[in-house]
A and B are shown apart, each in its own frame.
Chain A
Amino acid sequence: MPEEAVFFGRSGVFGLVLAGVYWFVSYEIVGTVLLAGFGVATGAAFVILGRAARRATRAPQDGEGSGEPSAPFEDEGGRVPLRSFAPLWVGVGVGFASLGLAFGVWFVLAGLVPLVLGAASWLAEVGREAEG
């Protein structure tokens, strides 16, 4: 099991044990639910990472090999994205929409325009990269 999965596994056990102890010393619901949620969430990450590790090529582990790669470094998918305004538009949209919490629904509607445009641009960029 890779170290990164074990990290979450131990965190999950810690959270669940702490939730159990907390419940029996306090009988307080909110804190118990929050702690148990912490344990369950990190436990779920452990399960997902563990399953992924079985499917994927093994990552280098401590104590194995000399640290040198077995082959020249692969280009990890090889690309770093070019500039993109999509995140900015999505951010502007969400920001405007959140002003609606204070000033009314018109700000939400105004925020939807850049939000939708930004999201569409984002998806289009990702689609082109996947094809290219």
Chain B
Amino acid sequence: MIAWLSATDHKRIGVLYIVTAFGFMVLAGLMAEGIRTELAQPGLQLVDPNTYAQLFTIHGTLMMLFFAGPLAIGFANYLVPLQVGAADMAFPRLNALSYWLFLFGGLIIVSGFLTSSGAAAVGWTAYAPLSELPYAPAPGMDLWIAGVVLVGFSGILGSLNFIVTIYARRAPGMTMFRLPLFTWSMLVTAVLILVAFPSVTAAGAMLFIDRHLGGAFFDPARGGDAILWQHLFWFFGHPEVYIVVLPYFGIVSEVVPVFSRKPLFGYRAMIFSLVAIAGLSMGVWAHHMFTTGVVFLPFFSLLSLFIAVPTGIKIFNWIATMWRGSIRLTVPMLWCIGLIYVFTIGGITGVMVASPPIDFQAQDTYFVVAHLHNVLIGGTVFAGFAGVYFWFPKITGRFLDERLGRLHWASWVIGFALTFVPQYELGVLGMPRRVADYAPTAGWTELNLVSTLGAVVLGLGMLPFLAAVVIALRQAPTAEPDPWGGNSLEWAADSPPKRHNFDWLPPIRSERPVFDARLAAERGGEPRERGDGETRGGAVRAPGRSNPEAGPA
């Protein structure tokens, strides 16, 4: 326990992030099950409307800010130093602080449920003036602000760390265009976080000033502007969607080539599409504000439509990578194929709501709820599980059970379709989101029941995964350094890696150094022979090797 509380090793911090993020996911998932159970039938069966509002507020907040993003940051913590050939992050203590701020931020938000008036109940978007003191007087709202500000600082500090690590700690030969796609995706994401998070962090501070220090930033009655909150929130909120999704695109770009036994199709095009998605995402925030009537619709509609182009490039390139490959349908690969199916539906419906006439109809309906979950569950959860199954042997030295993994995957593909496809129709039929009840005569009952059954399938689908993790952790580690035939440098390290990661590094002459080394070894070049301090067959000594724990206490 002491080792975990005092960890500065990027791998331990990565594991902490991943486990904590899954903890918040389970919590938020239980809230989602409560929401869906309430909606299975007309009438209030389980919770009152105020509790229902708290559930969907904290569910959204936890999933967006404390699961999807931090899970990616957990993978990045573990993998980025390994993939660039470094011994650790550039600022290990700052890395640990980022984790603790994230953890305490989440706990503070959840602690709202322990107060007599409950947690924040204004939606994860916390629109002003609803979030102002007269309409949200409970301390749960202040706890929400505190948690968001903390996770904002955590994200900013973490992003600086990633950018410096990627720029300054690369091994010799690891040029920018030899970086693995996952590391590239984290670099782009880190820049997005640096640009976007200050906006919501500042907005949170302004909201607190409004609530308790006599400010009037968002109060129209005192000369403020409620739309200002929406601008500040969505200037963070829409890049946040890509902050959440882009690292997972990186994971898919790592997994698909390995199990297709082919190089990634269009490596540079994938990088440029990452950068293009990030750049365009900075100019689309107000497509969430079409119906306010105060934004210039063509500008935001056009840029929103443009984003489909680089996103489409990525999907085409993944498919092209698989095309005529020697595909192995392992569990990580199945999750990636599932992502392509689920995320593409979300992308297409995103193009639909980027069109103002359709958005005006779909605004605040279940159509938007279904679209958001198609994008975020498809883009993050599916790829997140792909990453877990893919890197679990690297992190623990053990394999997750293949049969349980397939059951997990199948139940999520089926459960996802059952849950969210009916919600598109509910949206078209006019069912608004964020309501705890609906009239029995509305014609929404059957679709809601199917959606709820799907949510149950999703929840039960987690059991095989948890069983697989428990079973694996009870077994002895058997994984070789490179069990899958990987491409990037983490597969040159032991499973799990040493504290200082590498005793040697293969020569880095392409974006697939471990593949190159394996090929050379098969041809008799033996570049993987361990060096004794000298370059031998191209292998080189690695950072931190000579004195791995030498930092003064």
Contact = CB atoms under 8 A, between A and B. Distances in A.
A83 B93 contact: no
Interface residues of A, number: 66
Contact of A66 (B142, B143, B509): B509
A75 B546 contact: yes
B92 A81 contact: yes
B93 A86 contact: yes
B538 interface: yes
Contact of A42 (B143, B195, B298): B195
Nearest to B170: A59
Nearest to A19: B283
Interface stretch (B174-182, B311-319, B352-360, B363-371): B174-182
A91 to B, nearest CB: 3
Nearest to A56: B168
Contacts of A8: 191
Contacts of B546: 75, 78
Nearest to B150: A98
A21 B548 CA distance: 52
B93 A79 contact: no
B124 to A, nearest CB: 18
B142 A14 contact: no
Contacts of B86: 76
Interface in A48-97: 49, 59-62, 64-70, 72-76, 78-88, 90-92, 94-95
Contact of B97 (A28, A64, A87): A87
Interface string B184-198: 000000010011000
Given A73-B505, A81-B93, A91 B6 contact: no
B282 interface: yes
Interface in B502-553: 505, 507-510, 533-535, 538, 540-553
A34 B172 contact: no
B100 A88 contact: yes
**Contact residues on B (Cβ < 8 Å of other chain), bracket:** 35 or more
A28 B8 CA distance: 45
A68 to B, nearest CB: 5
A80 B296 contact: no
Contacts of B199: 34
B477 interface: no
Interface in B92-107: 92-94, 96-97, 99-101, 103-105, 107
Contacts of B92: 80-81
A92 to B, nearest CB: 7
Nearest to A60: B175
A132 B553 CA distance: 10
Most B Cβ at <10 Å: residue of A3, A41, A72, A95: A95
Given A83-B3, A91-B101, A98-B150, A72 B541 contact: yes
Interface in B35-87: 86-87
A103 B534 contact: no
A31 B146 contact: no
B231 A30 contact: yes
A98 B176 contact: no
Contacts of B191: 8, 11, 42
A7 B99 CA distance: 28
A26 B299 contact: yes
Contacts of B298: 25
Nearest to A41: B195
B279 A11 contact: yes
Interface string B261-302: 000000000000001000100110110000000111011000
Contacts of A2: 176
Contact of A98 (B149, B299, B545): B149
23 contacts: A3-B175, A3-B177, A8-B191, A25-B299, A26-B299, A28-B296, A30-B231, A30-B232, A60-B172, A62-B175, A72-B535, A73-B171, A76-B86, A78-B547, A83-B2, A83-B3, A83-B7, A83-B8, A95-B105, A98-B147, A101-B146, A101-B208, A101-B212
Given A35-B282, A69-B535, A99-B108, 10 more contacts: A7-B275, A11-B191, A25-B296, A30-B231, A31-B235, A68-B172, A73-B543, A82-B552, A91-B97, A102-B140
